Amino acid sequence: MGKENSITLNDRERQLLALKEYVTSLAGNNPNGKIEFVGVNVEGTGADKTRHRLLKAHALPLLAATTVDEVVAAANSVQTSLNSLDIYQDVMLSIDSPCPGQLTALINLPSAKRFLAQTGTSFGNGEGSGYIRCTAKNHFGLGEIFTVDTSVGTRTKSATLFQASAPLAGVLPLRWRAELLAYGAEKSVDWASHREQVRGATIRITSPKHTFGLDYVLRSLYASKVRPSATVRSQAGHATKYSAFYNWNYDSRNNAFLPTSGALVKVCNEVAAGDYPYLKTCVDFVRGFRISEKISMSISGRCGGLVPLNGQSHISDRFFLGGPLDVRGFRISRLGRNDEGDAVGGDAVMAGGLSLYAPVPRVSSPNLRLHAFINGGSVRPYGQGVLQTFSNMLSTPPSIATGFGLLYAHPAARFELNLTFPLTSHAGEQSHKGLQFGVGLSFL
């Protein structure tokens, strides 16, 4: 789901400004005057059902605030952290002053639906799916959420996920959560003539920026052709993986689908043992710019490497490029090595893209844009060491495509319809000259 767009953020900024003026007035119109909270009350259906310890941990920043700026920051932080628990409908916080220099806060916590069953369809990332999702929230008063999700799709033939999640307030800073996931899925990997079944479990702790976790997964790879490539043959069957991972995420974009300011940086690191041990790291970034009042631009890139520790990497762990969501002008995952007709990906990846967005003449919607792009990338197998692998990559030209089209930034996903023109490619890669349609949440 996309972030709030710029209008929502401006609303938020206006709200905070109004709050600051209000708190200043409560402090006797002295922005530097000392003030303190003498009480924080909570009410609402959600408050009754949540344990006192959790609420206290979230309200604590208010009690520590002693200046106007601190009060505003604390009020914002408390509201954000309580909303992020995802167990309340819409957290409201009001501040009053019973006597000069003293404040009280009233937090209204209407409970979100404690049991929810949903069915629906979704699309994106090159596939469509139907799902059933059941969620149980805060039944033990710990802010815990249990989710069971099952879906069937065009590429991910079936997927089931059980997730238990609870906040770690009091143990770690606010907004950290502990999560336990058990999952199973079967997906069709058309570009490498096999289907893959995964069954696994993950335990992780997350915050908006950091995720640490441990994963255990059994991957079963089944050839979907009578005569698949040597790569698929050699990896068919079962393989287990145990891994420890750390992901870092920074997002200051004003809009996830059409950024005109801010940046997204995602860093993934993984150490894996098992049948195909490896070290892996990957960096993704997107930076949005406003060129003029109506024209904006984004620059994005991806760089990653995987070091196989026993000589060969598993095809599911490798990097793949190509398709409407990353390197447009190529078919999905069809960049890089080709083994007897199967795209087998690579252990090192570099990709970049530049997009220009302009309004469509005589269309007032800010979400519909003309779009021009140039993007390219390379995926390569691991050579004799990391340096040699990247030097090989830099010494051979990347596959590049350009094009233009229409883009629609719907709040749920970004839609693109482009006319693509591949400029360079390598023999065996599958370029796509013509119309290409993409729906997704993140694009290169």
Partner 1 sequence: MRVPGPVKAVFDQFPLKEYPEISNHSAANERDVRLFVYNVGPDHIAMDPNGLAVQTLMKVLGKDVEVALGSPYMTKNEKLPLLVLSGGKRDGSGVYSGLDEILGFLVGEEEKLDGEMELFKVMLDKWLNEAWLATILSEDYEKQCLTVYSSDRDRSQPWPANRIITNQLLDHLGAQGRHRVVRHFNSHTTSMALHSLATKLGDAKFFSVGQLACGGNLGLLDILVYSYIWSIFKHIPNSALASLVPLSLSEHARRVHQYVYNSSE
CA distances from 2 to 5, 248, 256, 413 (A): 8, 18, 5, 7
Selected from 182, 265, 421, 441, the binder of partner 1 by CB under 8 A is: 421
CB 36 within 8 A of CB 66: yes
Name residue 71's amino acid: V
Among the listed ranges 8-16, 233-241, 283-291, 301-309, the one in contact with partner 1 (CB under 8 A) is 233-241
> For 190-311, where are the E strands, in sequence order?
194-206, 210-223, 237-251, 263-274, 278-290, 296-308
Nearer to partner 1, 44 or 381 (CB): 381
Residues 169-188 that bind partner 1 (CB under 8 A): none
384: contact with partner 1 by CB under 8 A: no
397: contact with partner 1 by CB under 8 A: yes
Selected from 41, 234, 365, 391, the binder of partner 1 by CB under 8 A is: 234
Nearer to partner 1, 251 or 275 (CB): 275
Residues 298-327 that bind partner 1 (CB under 8 A): 312
334: contact with partner 1 by CB under 8 A: no
- The minimum distance between CB 282 and partner 1, in angstroms, equals 20
CB 186 within 8 A of CB 153: no
Selected from 8, 118, 240, 252, the binder of partner 1 by CB under 8 A is: 240
266: contact with partner 1 by CB under 8 A: no
Q: Give the SS3 label for residue 314.
A: coil
| Alpha carbons 329 and 322: distance in angstroms, whole number | 8
8-state DSSP, 329: T
Selected from 50, 254, 338, 375, the binder of partner 1 by CB under 8 A is: 338
**Binding track, positions 199-228, relative to partner 1; x by CB under 8 A:** x------------------x-xxxxxxxxx
| Alpha carbons 42 and 53: distance in angstroms, whole number | 13
CB 392 within 8 A of CB 347: no
The site for partner 1, by CB under 8 A, has a size of 46
**b/e code 121-151 from CB counts within 10 Å (16+ = b):** eeebbbeebebeeebbbbeeeebbbbbebeb
- The minimum distance between CB 399 and partner 1, in angstroms, equals 8
Q: Give the SS3 label for residue 29.
A: coil
238: contact with partner 1 by CB under 8 A: yes
Q: What are residue 284's DSSP bridge partners?
A: 266, 302
229: contact with partner 1 by CB under 8 A: yes
Contact positions vs partner 1 (CB under 8 A)? 199, 218, 220-234, 236-238, 240, 275, 312, 336-341, 344, 380-381, 396-397, 402, 419, 421-428, 431, 433
